[in-house]
Amino acid sequence: MSDKRPSLLGYLPALDGVRALAVVAVIVYHANKQWLGGGFLGVEVFFVISGFLITSLLIAESERDGRINLKQFWLRRARRLLPALWLLLLLVAVYCSLFERDTLGNLRGDIVAALVYGFNWFQIWVGTSYFTAFDFVPLRHLWSLAVEEQFYVLWPVLMLVMLRLGRRKLPIVGVLFIATSIAIAVFTAVTYRSGAIGAVTETPEQFMAFLGQPVSRIDFLFLGTFTRAGGLFLGAALAVFWRPWLLQTSPIGTRGQLLDGVFLLGFGGLAVCAAVFRDVVEITDVGTTGYDILFRGGFFLVGMASVAVIAAAVHPTATMTHALLGNRVMTYIGQRSYGLYLYHWPVFQMYRRFAGQGLTPYEFVLLMLLALAITESSYRFVELPVRDGRFGAWWRSRRDERSLGVLVDSATRRRRIGVFAISVMLPAFALVSVATADVKLNDISQSLAESESAVVNVLGDSAGGSTESGADSSPTTIDQGAPMIIGGGVTQTTTLDGQLIDVLAIGDSVMLGAARELTARGATVDAMKSRSVRQALEIVNYLKSVRRLGSIVVIHLGTNSTTTEEVLDQIMATLADTPLVLFLTVYVPSEPRQTINNRLINALPTKYANVKVLDWHSIAGQYPEYLYSDQTHLRLAGARFYADLIMQSIGRL
């Protein structure tokens, strides 16, 4: 039987306001990273809130009852968290079984991992990076719930042990929690590595051994339970030293204006971090890199700012803070923050399909209205009835009707049968579909995997790309006297001894999608996913050193990273004697690097007489039917069109 006695903690409206700030920041970030690059830090605020609230509840229960009832604690957590999560997984499974059947095989592992609250470790282990932009991943956001649920399972046991040391030892426990958070920050900083992030063969320093398997350091540090527990420990330390039920009778309890100042300081710190920490990873002229300051103390700073905000939010006389955070709008959002976090991301994904595609303001408003409607329905008809016992009472009444033989009129019976059929048959179909589906690549990944065999890796295996698909085909490499694919079918090879590469095409995943078409038209293609502009410099320098640069070089880079005038000048210094260098502008809608890179590329012909520019940006915008729905990568017809444009531009059609 559950304990109905009131908790010493009570309801804290302004704490719901802090939840509202955190979930809004995350939602805006998920909608379009350009709007609030550091919005993902809202998750760290949630961690601090969880650490504070759970520890406060456990201390309050211990002080009230002299013990902690672990069974009741876990039951309360289950009633609060599981119904909405199960509903989300069911809705996603039904949707994908009806409209996204090719994704069901990949979705199966995600659902199982989410059910056991191990989604963060599942992502780390399988290597499906949290930061990939061109995937349909409706459950990616559940990693943070996994971290919190693992905390809910272990933390009460730890607190039970700590509280048995006696109340006098609690300050020591609080200091220990702070020291642990600092130790986690130090471990994260030491484990992190700066620099470009590529495949394990390209950048082995960006990977680490985990249970005998190489895993991405960035994924391990960002998603791992231990490395993200710093905020949880800071929140727990605050709960030890800052117990709301004691503040009202303590001298500090009357210092509301001071705590309002603390709130402004903490909120200002969070705002600065959200503006400065643009993303977890950033795109530079060397490719994808981690955001260094974030992993070298950034998370700890966010945690400390969150502590300041929460301390003010739960203070009894911080009037301004309560007005800002405890009003009806903020508490409404905060009370539904769990559901909003659960449902907004799948709604966004089901509309745009690709994780990295930003929404427009109009799309954002419409999708948020839909997400809010789903959240409100879940909150009113699923979460609250389970939480307050109404669902259990209803279930017992139906059971009693059957056991007592209560007669039900035919209309009610038909209605119940219809509801039962719909509520059982459709989920059953979805679950069977998920359980029996084959694992498939999405259209873009499949296209790129099929193109890998038509690619030459000029710099050899140490600089080559990797296929996300795990396909057997791999890029052909070129070394002194090595065989190389030239023209015709991809199975024909010839040696390079004494030969020049007549038409060399260097590109990223956009060109990779057209590699077979370009090869069939006589070009030698070196293209790979996630390539930066600077890597073209390495390729042309190498080929010039072995005297194999021919008469034409085609470069299509800048989709994945920004570049600089200096890098382009260095490339052209190497290609000064090449008769024709064709640059293609980039088409990456809604990405600022598109404008930056295209401005630099379009300026090249005025500086170099041997440069010609093919304005792919303008052409791609006119022919969206040639692109996949990510508006960047090429469909089969688009690959043919793209190859013809290039060959026409260099006079080799």
Query: Pick the residue with more confidence: 228 or 353?
Result: 228
Q: In sequence order, what are the residues at sequence separation of 6 or more whose Cβ sits closer than 8 angstroms to the Cβ of residue 652?
A: 503, 521, 522, 552
CATH of the domain at 457: 3.40.50.1110
For 184-243, give the DSSP string.
HHHHHHHH---SB---TTT-GGGEEEETTEEEEHHHHHHH-TTTT-HHHHHHHHHHHH--
340 and 471 in a common domain: no
Report residue 130's pLDDT band, with 50, 70 and 90 as the boundaries.
low
Q: What's residue 189's pLDDT?
A: 97
- Look at residue 2 and tell me whether its pLDDT is greater than 70: no
Closest CA to 512 of 444, 561, 463: 444
Q: Can you tell me the distance from the alpha carbon of 259 to that of 495, in angstroms, rounded to the nearest whole number?
A: 75
Q: Residue 635 pLDDT more than 80?
A: yes
Six-digit token string for 333:
């959002």
Is residue 389 a part of any domain in this protein? no
Within-domain flag for 399: no
H helices of 289-336, where? 292-293, 299-313, 319-325, 328-335
Q: Which residue's entry shows tokens 């959200």?
A: 274
pTM for this prediction = 0.85
How large is the C-alpha radius of gyration of the chain?
Answer: 29
Higher pLDDT, residue 2 or 268: 268
Cβ atoms of 24 and 330 closer than 8 Å: no
- In this predicted structure, what is the pLDDT of residue 267? 97
Report yes or no: 501 and 542 within 8 Å, Cβ to Cβ: no
The residue type of 528 is M
Whether residue 317 has pLDDT greater than 60:
yes
The answer to whether residue 9 sits within a structural domain is no
Regarding whether 489 and 344 lie in a shared domain, the answer is no
pLDDT at res. 396: 66
| pLDDT score at 464 | 37
pLDDT the model gives residue 473: 36
- Please give the pLDDT value at position 61: 92
pLDDT band at residue 408 using 50, 70 and 90 as cut-offs = low
CA distance 435 to 440: 14
Query: In terms of pLDDT, which residue wins out, 336 or 388?
Result: 336
CB 145 within 8 A of CB 86: no
Instruction: Give residue 369's pLDDT.
Output: 97
In the predicted structure, residue 405 carries a pLDDT above the cut 60: no
CA-angle at 51, arms to 50 and 54, nearest 5°: 75
Last residue of a domain, one of 369, 394, 413: 369
Phi, psi dihedrals of residue 245, rounded to the nearest 5°: -70, -15
Is residue 557 a part of any domain in this protein?
yes
Specify whether 338 is located in the same domain as 477: no
Do residue 342 and residue 464 come from a single domain?
no
pLDDT tens figures, 50-98: 999 999 999 999 998 888 999 999 999 999 999 999 999 999 999 999 9
Last-in-domain residue among 369, 398, 422: 369
Do 464 and 361 share a structural domain? no
Dihedral (Cα; 291, 293, 294, 299), 10-degree rounding? 180
Q: Is the pLDDT of residue 492 over 60?
A: no
* Closest-CA residue to 556 (of 506, 515, 509): 506
Mean local confidence (pLDDT), 513-542: 92
Looking at residue 127, its pLDDT comes to 78
The stretch 431-451 carries a mean pLDDT of: 86
**Residue 412 falls inside a structural domain:** no
Q: Which residues pair with 253 in a beta bridge?
A: none
Q: Which of 318, 345, 369 is the last residue before a domain boundary?
A: 369
Encode 42-101 in three state secondary structure. HHHHHHHHHHHHHHHHHHHHHHHHCCCCHHHHHHHHHHHHHHHHHHHHHHHHHHHHHHCH
Residues in the chain: 653
Same domain, 243 and 143: yes
pLDDT in tens, 95-122: 999 998 888 998 999 999 999 999 999 9
Per-residue model confidence (pLDDT) at position 403? 61
Q: Are residues 218 and 303 in the same domain?
A: yes
Q: Does the structure show a pLDDT above 80 at 248? A: yes
**pLDDT value, residue 409:** 63
Q: Is residue 397 part of a domain?
A: no
Domain count for the chain, please give it: 2
Low-confidence winner among 374-378, 432-436, 554-558 (lowest mean pLDDT): 432-436
d(CA 92, CA 104): 10
What is the domain range of residue 156? Answer: 15-369
Residues 358 and 463 in one domain: no
Each residue of 556-598: pLDDT tens digit? 999 888 899 999 999 999 999 999 999 999 999 877 889 999 9
Q: For residues 460 and 599, state if they share a domain.
A: yes
Q: What is the pLDDT of residue 469?
A: 33
Do 232 and 151 touch, CB atoms closer than 8 A? Answer: yes
Mean pLDDT of the chain: 87
What pLDDT was estimated at residue 354?
Answer: 78
Per-residue pLDDT at 421 exceeds 80? no
Contact (Cβ atoms closer than 8 angstroms) between residue 600 and residue 565 = yes
Task: Report the percentage of the chain scoring pLDDT > 90.
Answer: 65
C-beta of residue 215 within 8 angstroms of C-beta of residue 208: yes
366 Rama sector, left if φ>0, alpha if ψ -120 to 50, beta otherwise:
alpha
| 404 CB neighbour count, 10 Å cutoff | 7
- Do both 504 and 639 map to the same domain? yes
Q: Residue 486 pLDDT more than 70? A: no
Mean pLDDT to the nearest integer, 443-466? 71
Q: For position 652, what pLDDT does the model report? A: 86
Is residue 574 one of the residues assigned to a domain?
Answer: yes
3-state secondary structure of 122: helix
Would you say residue 6 has pLDDT above 90?
no
What's the pLDDT score for residue 633?
A: 93
């042309």: which residue's tokens? Answer: 540
Say what the pLDDT of residue 389 is: 79
Of the listed ranges 229-238, 386-395, 519-528, the one predicted with least confidence:
386-395
Single-letter amino acid, residue 585: T
Q: What is the pLDDT of residue 544?
A: 92
Determine, yes or no, domain membership for 104: yes
For residues 188 and 291, membership in a common domain is answered with yes
**pLDDT at position 495:** 40
